[in-house]
Amino acid sequence: MIAAHEGTVAAPASPRTQGLPAAPSATGAATRCATHLVLIPSYDTGPKVYETVAAARAQWSPVWVVVDGSTDGTGAGLQRLAEADPGLAVWVLPENRGKGAAVLHGLEEAERQGYTHVLAMDSDGQHPADLIPAFMQASMARPETMVLGRPVFDASAPLIRVRGRRISNGWTNLETLGAGIGDSLYGFRVYPVAALAHVMRRQPWMRRFDFDTEAAVRLAWRGVKPVNLDAPVKYLRAEEGGVSHFRYGRDNLLLTWMHARLMVEFVLRLPLLLWRRLTRRPPFQP
């Protein structure tokens, strides 16, 4: 497998095998899917990223990692893994650009290689890799949709985070006129490549913490129906290898600004959204 050098774009050969991957083996899912891939943006998560990648590879092929300017040495480590694994590809960006920017980098490469969908998941161990096949199956059954994880929290979830996301979910429900986005912030999702890349290239936002919410809203505006699947989320303690780059003040200000922008656009889009809802046009179709 070809691993990217820092600041360059390198990739594996284009896939040829259609359909779902075979049952996982000791070295990962064997059969490469020609339409759907796993995309993992990563920034300074330390060794936890290796566990995340191994868990994803056990379920799917191919798995792509975009290292977003990490300074913890994991870029080089992932490149070494990719050299020995034909189901893994790694891109290393020269500086930190934000989660959304890293996802866009992967989307554009996926689009170039002919992939139609990506399952985005975080590199910090919070997302359930064992559900990758189920989410991919749901996407393949309805490729015109986006398949969104709906988080199931356990006792590790900080109460302020659980309650705080209800505010974002409420705004998202309003901005999409109740299109059915189950959770606006959970990043374990399958996106249609062409639609999301088109949305992101048309405006300068969605490059950092605002990515997950704005992606779901703008895709719904574009007529992409959300399909929600329950998925557990884990908040790992530091002694478990957990790393969080969430900053309560900074990131909530960013979300507030994002929702303000989206509400202005929502008002302008309201007549069209009402017509679509009344006539059951996408994203309001059954």
As a 3-state breakdown, the chain gives helix, strand, coil percent values, each rounded to 5, of 40, 15, 40
Q: How do 63-68 and 36-42 pair as beta strands?
A: parallel
Select from 16, 56, 23, 14 the least CA-distant residue to 39.
56
pLDDT computed for residue 50 by the predictor = 96
pLDDT computed for residue 30 by the predictor = 64
Q: Is the pLDDT of residue 208 over 80?
A: yes
- Which residues lie closer than 8 Å to 242 by C-beta, 6 or more apart? 48, 124, 125, 235, 236
pLDDT of 86-135, one tens digit each? 999 999 999 999 999 999 999 999 999 999 999 999 999 899 999 999 99
Select from 107, 104, 99 the least CA-distant residue to 208.
99
pLDDT computed for residue 243 by the predictor = 62
**Integer Cα distance of 91 and 80 in angstroms:** 12
pLDDT of 120-129, one tens digit each? 999 998 999 9
Query: In percent, how much of the chain has pLDDT > 90?
Result: 73
CA dihedral of residues 38, 40, 46, 47 (deg, nearest 10): 0
For the whole model, what pTM was predicted?
0.86
Cis preceding-peptide flag for 47 (omega within 30 of 0): no
pLDDT computed for residue 2 by the predictor = 44
pLDDT computed for residue 27 by the predictor = 54
Ramachandran angles phi, psi of 232, nearest 5° = -70, 150
pLDDT, averaged across the chain: 87
- CA distances from residue 206 to 85, 214, 257 in whole angstroms, order as listed: 31, 6, 12
Lowest mean pLDDT among 19-23, 29-33, 51-55, 136-140: 19-23
The two tokens of residue 179 are 């299109």
pLDDT computed for residue 210 by the predictor = 87
Are 111 and 35 in contact by the 8 Å Cβ rule? The answer is: no
pLDDT computed for residue 163 by the predictor = 75
- CA distances from residue 280 to 102, 170, 180, 286 in whole angstroms, order as listed: 34, 22, 13, 8
DSSP 121: -
Sign of the dihedral through C-alpha 40, 45, 50, 51: negative
pLDDT computed for residue 11 by the predictor = 40
pLDDT of 152-192, one tens digit each? 988 777 776 677 788 899 999 999 999 999 999 999 999 99
Length of the chain: 286
pLDDT computed for residue 214 by the predictor = 96
- Which residues lie closer than 8 Å to 171 by C-beta, 6 or more apart? 184, 259, 262, 263
Assign 12 a pLDDT band (cuts: 50, 70, 90): very low
